[in-house]
Structure 1
């Protein structure tokens, strides 16, 4: 029998049982791809990470990210949480993780209670989808979708694309994912969606944003904190504003009873708009998986 230690942490929170839970295997050497996927499905969390030696010794580690059904090229809270778990490997407070989407830099918080990551790629803005499609997926009336600033728009910066949708306060509160509508959207828009759709609803709240994320087709009916949606949203809102840089706090997970705070920044640069996201982490469990 082979034994693999793991830890779990709650990410984008300062209290246990808030934020987004993450399982981390700090030494995944010896696990096959199929075993990693099976473990991620067994934990049944939004994501689970597996840490391997880096291909380039100048970097800290190669980090593989799996959700319940597939591997991901990049994700936000897995990098923040894995950076927190591997804090003793940091050099000058920085870790560098090799991932499918590119190199991810993780900067530890000065107090050691969290981390900030930079999205591995600049903002990419994709197609717009009809408001009725977004409304159906969210289970709300079309008039709850706001389009004065932008229509529902696909965007990404290294991870899976997210459909960014501004909604009314009632639309955000009442939303519930309709799996059949998600599947109809995939069938009707194969070129735009490429077989994947996750819905990131947001509304303005003072100087910040309240958000919810649904991806039921890939096994996440709702996510309490989504860093890889927060960074494209921050970049996209900067794109719309015309400003050179901005900071934005995003509150997510309230409706799930797991309130999360994601602190984002976005800045225009030579290669486009790049964004960061950070927040706190709290350790929860330690254990071993025996295979």
Structure 2
């Protein structure tokens, strides 16, 4: 079967978040998909399938080592890049439409920068402030003093994200996640960079419940943060996210609000193309 591996949210191979993509995977059952995702041991492995909904160019299933996700961000951009490189032609020029468990997700292609695209952030499944008990537990779970947490918000678009807004970038970089305290909860940390910094905010993402202790660069979390921080007036309609610093990565995510729609964009690098013996 055709196989690709794409580095996402970077223009330099090895500095973003890789996703493994299996093409034409309609003959694989769920157990085989999950087994392969455990074997790749990446944050996510995806499988391209024929669409079942009108208007979709393809259907995508997304697996972590721990199980299936209804939606994930960097696999969305990486899988679209792999599909296009394999000869996929979108029905609407300039826009790829992905079908996944959260519905149809449009992906806008940047015609001025090869490999750059942006997906439409799906509606949040859960939003609003995190309750006090959960906020206190998650604050302890990431090793951050309570007085360094400025706000805590649900930004869940599928993986279950709760986000903690911290006072400084150093607070984010100094955080140390306790797997047992976090449990199955997906936790994102965000803090503003000073003016003139490498990006507008610094982000880290922890999701040990699905076998990912720390994710290098996280599109789904970025989508939720973009919806929260722009709608609350905490950031302008356009801002950038740096992620992966502690892991030696250099991920850059571009957020843009267009009316009510938030777009999550970045570069992709096609790193591996070949075949895999899965059928």
Task: Give the TM-score, by structure 1 length.
Answer: 0.85
Count of residue pairs brought into register by the alignment: 266
Say if 1:242 and 1:230 are closer, same or farther in 2 by CA, change over 3 A.
Answer: closer
Deviation track 1:125-173 (CA, whole Å, cap 9, x = no partner) reads: 144143432221112332332x2xxx312122x3223111111333212
User: Partners in 1 of 2:144 and 2:55 — Cα distance?
Assistant: 49
Show the counterpart of 1:109: 110
RMSD of equivalent CA atoms: 1.9
User: Partners in 1 of 2:68 and 2:48 — Cα distance?
Assistant: 14
Partner SS state of residue 119, structure 2: strand
User: Partners in 2 of 1:58 and 1:95 — Cα distance?
Assistant: 10
User: Partners in 2 of 1:262 and 1:172 — Cα distance?
Assistant: 17
Show the counterpart of 2:191: 203
Q: Displacement, 1:114?
A: 2.1
Show the counterpart of 1:191: none
Partner SS state of residue 225, structure 1: coil
Q: 1:249 aligns with which of 231, 240, 243?
A: 240
Q: Quick check: 1:123–1:232 contact (8 Å CA) kept in 2? A: no
Q: Which runs of 4+ in 1 moved over 6 A?
A: none
Show the counterpart of 1:67: 64
User: Partners in 2 of 1:95 and 1:177 — Cα distance?
Assistant: 36
Matches within 5 A, 1:1-291: 4-56=1-53, 58-87=55-84, 88-90=88-90, 91-110=92-111, 111-121=113-123, 124-130=126-132, 131-145=135-149, 147=150, 151-156=151-156, 158-167=157-166, 168-183=168-183, 196-206=184-194, 208-241=200-233, 246-269=237-260, 274-291=261-278
Deviation track 1:18-44 (CA, whole Å, cap 9, x = no partner) reads: 110000112112101110111111111
Partner SS state of residue 144, structure 2: coil
Q: Quick check: 1:84–1:108 contact (8 Å CA) kept in 2? A: no
User: Partners in 2 of 1:58 and 1:277 — Cα distance?
Assistant: 21
Q: Quick check: 1:37–1:70 contact (8 Å CA) kept in 2? A: yes
Q: Quick check: 1:123–1:235 contact (8 Å CA) kept in 2? A: no
Partner SS state of residue 36, structure 2: helix
Task: Give the TM-score, by structure 2 length.
Answer: 0.89
Q: Displacement, 1:174?
A: 1.1
Q: Quick check: 1:5–1:288 contact (8 Å CA) kept in 2? A: yes
User: Partners in 1 of 2:125 and 2:79 — Cα distance?
Assistant: 23
Q: Displacement, 1:63?
A: 0.8
Q: Displacement, 1:266?
A: 2.5
Q: Quick check: 2:77–2:118 contact (8 Å CA) kept in 1? A: yes
Deviation track 1:107-131 (CA, whole Å, cap 9, x = no partner) reads: 1221322211002325741441434
Say if 1:161 and 1:265 are closer, same or farther in 2 by CA, change over 3 A.
Answer: farther
Deviation track 1:217-270 (CA, whole Å, cap 9, x = no partner) reads: 221111111111111111111221189x7111101001101110000123453x
Q: Quick check: 2:242–2:250 contact (8 Å CA) kept in 1? A: yes
Unaligned runs of 5+ in 2: none
Q: Displacement, 1:7?
A: 0.7
